[in-house]
Chain A
């Protein structure tokens, strides 16, 4: 099982550039989400989706856009990259049942210069 796959693993962007972080899962999980991890901050929720066509904002959504056209994919778009978006980004998925845990991708380290 591939589980949750994120691409790329590393990325350097210039301020103002846009890009899309890819996330795909092959476990047929209904729920998918994006988190960012900053030093000393733990992980914080950016956006999440409870199924295809349904997305909602998390704790830190500004500067990011998402869509969920299929169950498998949940891309995260940076509209105009800023140095404050330098972080490690994690995609996670889980089954809809209440007592299930989230499975995480391996993360994308993004640097905005």
Chain B
């Protein structure tokens, strides 16, 4: 069974600085998808960024980028120029690629990010 581990229950960063959230996963599949979701106090789950395992290039979305290390099964999220609105719980998630067995999103336990002014 696939597992996702977020080893940092809480992180803090100063406004305008950079922070990296860690995520490791375990799978025997060669093709899969990885996601970072943000959950602010409103409770809404918001997709931040996604990565297809077959792509070697790291995904980037504005101030958010990932460091995807397939061999190490690592998928960290870097937030540059942190803003107060980035404060939230961040979840790393895995989904396999095979139809019929791929609907399950496996989530880590989350990292609570605090942004200090």
| Chain A residues with a Cβ under 8 A of chain B | 31, 33, 35, 40-45, 48, 50, 56, 58-59, 88, 90, 92, 98-99, 101-104, 106-107, 109
Contacts and interface: CB of A to CB of B under 8 A. Distances in A.
A98 B44 contact: no
Nearest 8 CB-CB pairings of A with B: A42-B107, A104-B45, A43-B107, A48-B103, A107-B43, A42-B109, A101-B47, A45-B104
Interface in B52-93: 52, 91, 93
B100 A106 contact: no
Interface of B: 4, 33, 35, 37, 42-45, 47, 50, 52, 91, 93, 97, 99-100, 102-105, 107-110
B104 A58 contact: yes
B103 A101 contact: no
